[in-house]
Structures are given as C-alpha cells and as structure tokens.
C-alpha cells in the first residue's frame, strides 16, 4: 500500500477567498505531478477556492505541456 502525502507549496487568503499555489518545475515523476495538480484543481473548485501555478524561465514549456495534457485552462504566473 502506498501512502501519498499531498501538500500545496503556498497557501494564501485574500479577503474570504483561499488561494493555492504550486510551483511548476521539471520533474521525472510527471504522472505523480499531473495527479497532484488535477486533485488540487478539483479540491479548489469544490470549496470555491482558487488554484494557481507559478513557473520560472526554463520550466514554462514543461509546465504548459503538462497543463495541456490535463486539459486545465490555467494562466501561468511567470517569475
């Protein structure tokens, strides 16, 4: 049995709305990352929160391809 601990990279609150932020970096574990992002997106929509992904130069294409594979329409926050 595999137990997976899932946590968000950054959590913030603005007024009454909660925001979850993930940092999109290249990873060898693409399937695990896709599962995590899908879960966080569904969780945030269920609770009327917001989910955003932050990425930096050199990781933008990888992150964008991952989002396209998941059919998530997210605007990436570039650092």
Give this prediction's pTM: 0.83
How many structural domains comprise the chain?
1
On the question of pLDDT at 8 being above 80, the answer is: no
Q: What is the pLDDT of residue 75?
A: 86
* pLDDT tens sequence across 23-49: 999 989 899 899 999 999 998 999 999
Residue-by-residue DSSP string for 15-30 = TTEEEEEEEE---S-H
43 lies in some domain: yes
Range of the domain at 18: 10-78
Tell me the mean pLDDT in the region 46-55.
Answer: 93
51 lies in some domain: yes
What are the phi and psi torsion angles at 29 (to 5°)? -95, 65
35 lies in some domain: yes
Q: What is the pLDDT of residue 22?
A: 92
5 lies in some domain: no
Give the model's confidence band at 7: pLDDT under 50 very low, under 70 low, under 90 confident, else very high.
confident
Indicate the average pLDDT of the chain.
89
């Amino acid at each position: 049995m595999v137990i997976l601990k899932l946590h968000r990279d950054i959590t913030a609150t603005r007024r009454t709305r909660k925001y979850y932020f993930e940092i999109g970096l290249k990873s060898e574990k693409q399937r695990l990352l896709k599962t995590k992002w899908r879960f966080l997106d569904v969780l945030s929509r269920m609770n009327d929160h917001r989910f955003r992904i932050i990425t930096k130069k050199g990781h933008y294409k990888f992150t964008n391809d991952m989002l396209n594979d998941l059919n998530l329409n997210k605007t990436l926050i570039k650092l």
